Structure 1
Amino acid sequence: MAWSSSNRDARFNPGWERTRKRILERDHYRCQWIVTDWHTGAKHICGYSANEVDHKVRAKNGEPDDDSPSNLWALCPYHHSQKTAQESAEQRRMNRERRKEEQWYSHPAFQ
């Protein structure tokens, strides 16, 4: 997607910068992504330097995002891009299924 045509800023509430700063400070500017140690299986936070704030659960169907502190976390650029890629792949899969269903029911036999 070209960022020049993106409307992502329209999703942010007017106080987003203040909220973002609060979350980064709460999380001590450290990535909160949960990682699993390959050798021991122990789980811990990433802990790398974080400068991005992300919604843990993104709003569905055009609803506004939940900007409550419990739904926000600081992420490093790597984990933020990983999460965004996962969400994008899931959205593309859902769009594909929806288009396939719409195409099926647009067949003349169903008209």
Structure 2
Amino acid sequence: MPESRWFNSSRGARFNPGWERTRKMILERDSHRCQRWVTDWRTGGRRKCWLPANEVDHIHRAENGEPDDDSPENLEALCSYHHKQKTARESGDARIKKRRRREVESWYSHPAYRTSA
């Protein structure tokens, strides 16, 4: 059995059964070209990356275990570089959120905040 990239994740279980068909449709719609906007640091001009794309990503990520929005408007083709970059940023944001939530929970677990029954 081939090893999945998500062997430690439940993310794959959230894919809809028609994901492969949806993925192919988005890649064809975007002409297999990366749709990520990039800014030229010299001129400040913005353009699309346009490198060959073989990955499809959700523009707006689902949160709190919600199912992903697989509508074509929420999907875009990305090159591997930009997909990894976006995933790393989202992962970092999620870690910060989780740490802040733990800090708040820790603060309110202090005996001064406990109610006696």
TM-score by length of 2: 0.91
Name which one, 1 or 2, has greater alpha-carbon Rg.
2
- 1:104 to partner: Cα distance: 0.3
- 1:25 to partner: Cα distance: 0.3
1:76 to 54, 76, 79: 79
Residue aligned with 2:7, SS: helix
- The answer for the alignment partner of 1:109 in structure 2 is 112
1:8 to 3, 6, 11: 11
- The answer for the alignment partner of 1:95 in structure 2 is 98
The alignment status of 1:19 with 2:22, answered yes or no, reads: yes
> What RMSD over aligned residues (CA atoms) do the two structures have, in Å?
1.0
Number of residue-to-residue matches in the alignment: 110
- 1:95 to partner: Cα distance: 0.3
TM-score by length of 1: 0.95
Q: In 1, are the aligned partners of 2:6 and 2:12 still within 8 Å (CA)?
A: no
Structure with the higher fraction of residues in helix conformation: 1
Instruction: Give structure 1 stretches of 5+ with no counterpart.
Output: none
Instruction: Give structure 2 stretches of 5+ with no counterpart.
Output: none
In the TM superposition, what whole-angstrom CA distance separates every residue of 1:25-77 from its partner, at most 9, and x where no partner exists?
00000000000111211111001110000000001111110000010000000
Q: Percent identity?
A: 65
- The answer for the alignment partner of 2:43 in structure 1 is 40
94-103 vs 39-48, greater mean Cα deviation: 39-48
Runs of 4+ more than 4 Å apart: none
